[in-house]
Amino acid sequence: MRAVEPSPFLQSYRRLACSLRVCGPPLPCPRWTQHPGTSTPMATSLRTPAFPSCSSASTDTDDEGVRGTCEDASMCKRFAVSLGYWHDPYIQHFVRLSKERKAPEINRGYFARVHGVSQLIKAFLRKTECHCQIINLGAGMDTTFWRLKDEDLLPRKYFEVDFPVIVTRKLHSIKLPTLLITECVLVYMTPEQSANLLKWAASSFDTAMFINYEQVNMDDRFGQIMIENLRRRQCDLAGVQTCKSLESQKERLLSNGWETASAVDMMELYSKLPQAEVSRIESLEFLDEMELLEQLMQHYCLCWATKGGHELGLKEITY
């Protein structure tokens, strides 16, 4: 039987796949750092996590492919910023400007991602009047701290975790409202590991919110091609089975101790962006494959969950 040739649409996706940001930093060797200007000293040597870590057999070589995507994502963000998709004067200090032009689908995808996560962060900060802390898991080269500082929206404490497998005795004792952020991090954990992380977070903080950005709708043909492309790059999505749908994403949060859970795919989020901003970024460069953008956006989602904070109105936060 003659093999069926992939459609031009799927071929286009393969060309773009290598530019797409799909993870945070690698999982082993947990360490965390606090930014200067927020209270309490930097912690560097801390107790064993309260949830199971990755296998001790994991090596730097095992995670090399995953680690490389941190640089990929940072370069994609730097390129989009250079075109004017959003303002970020700090990313230039962390990553060089790529000579390779990124596709419009990638730039718009990053714009939606940065805008969506940023809006939810700011909503939480305003609800808590910044009397809170932020823990950014798998932060990579993220510049959120400095951008929040420019807008006078710094929380009392801001932590960036280099590797997501970390729990500390000190964090257990923190009682302020806490925001935890993961962007393409949980998908690289097994479902059991991500469930343990979510349970730990829900049980450790009385008043908290969890923001998660990662893949969704991965059971269809487009999702399978994404998985195949990542495997070729030695990036195995250990937690992909929890990325079947928006409902499965919400169910994971609700079944692990969170009181409310919401999720939207990035195409829906993109449609709700301020029209003036959408018109501005769409005028920056021509996009001739709108269908590809829609497919990409429909396979990523933004999820958020809350616990406690009823007097603050945390459960009212939406996008």
pLDDT band at 289 (very low <50, low <70, confident <90, very high): confident
Question: What's the pLDDT tens digit per position in 1-23?
Answer: 334 344 443 344 343 333 333 33
Residue range 127-147, pLDDT digits in tens: 999 999 999 887 778 889 889
Report the pLDDT value the prediction gives residue 55, as an integer from 0 to 100.
43
Q: What number of other Cβ atoms are within 10 A of residue 306's Cβ?
A: 25
Render pLDDT for 207-229 as a digit per residue (tens, 0 to 9): 999 999 999 999 999 999 999 99
Residue 248 is which amino acid? S
Residue 206 tokens read as 């009385």
Binning pLDDT at 50, 70 and 90, where does residue 269 land? very high
Q: Do the domain assignments include residue 71?
A: no
% pLDDT > 70, the chain? 74
Has residue 172 been placed in a domain?
Answer: yes
Is 34 domain-assigned? Answer: no
Amino acid at 221: R
Q: What is the per-residue pLDDT across 83-125, written as a single tens digit (0 to 9) for each?
A: 999 999 988 887 888 888 899 999 999 999 999 999 999 999 9
Our count of domains for the chain comes to 1
258 falls within a domain: yes
Q: Where are the beta strands (DSSP E) in the chain?
A: 32-34, 133-137, 157-161, 178-183, 208-215, 260-265, 300-307
**At a CB cut-off of 8 Å and minimum separation 6, what does 94 contact?**
74, 141, 143
Contacts of 279 (CB under 8 A, 6+ apart): none
In the annotated binding site for S-adenosyl-L-methionine, the residues are 113, 138, 183
290 in a structural domain: yes
Residue 171 binned pLDDT confidence (cut-offs 50, 70, 90): very low
Tokens standing for 171?
A: 């964090």
pLDDT at 274 over 80: yes
Q: Residue 209 is part of which domain span? A: 104-316
Angle at 204 between CA 199 and CA 207, to 5 degrees: 105
The percent of residues in the chain predicted with pLDDT above 90, rounded, is: 57
**For residue range 48-94, what is the model confidence (pLDDT) as tens digits?**
444 444 444 445 556 667 666 777 888 999 999 999 999 999 888 87
Strand 260-265 relative to strand 208-215, pairing: unpaired
Average pLDDT, the chain: 80
Q: Which residues contact 283 (CB under 8 A, 6 or more apart)?
A: none
59 within a domain of the structure (yes/no): no
For every residue of 55-67, DSSP letters joined together read -TT--TTTTHHHH
247, 213, 241: which is closest to 227 by C-alpha? 241
SS3 content of the chain, % helix, strand, coil (to 5): 45, 15, 45
Binding-site positions read 113, 138, 183
Question: Of 25-29, 104-108, 145-149, 264-268, where does mean pLDDT reach its minimum?
Answer: 25-29
Question: Is residue 46 assigned to a domain?
Answer: no
Q: Assess whether pLDDT exceeds 60 at residue 45.
A: no
Helices (H), 137-242: 144-150, 169-172, 191-204, 221-232
- Spatial separation of the C-alpha atoms in residues 65 and 45, rounded to whole Å: 27
CATH of the domain at 275: 3.40.50.150
Give the pLDDT score at 78: 94
Domain annotation covers residue 4 = no
Task: Pick the more confident residue, 68 or 175.
Answer: 68
pLDDT at residue 98 in the model? 84
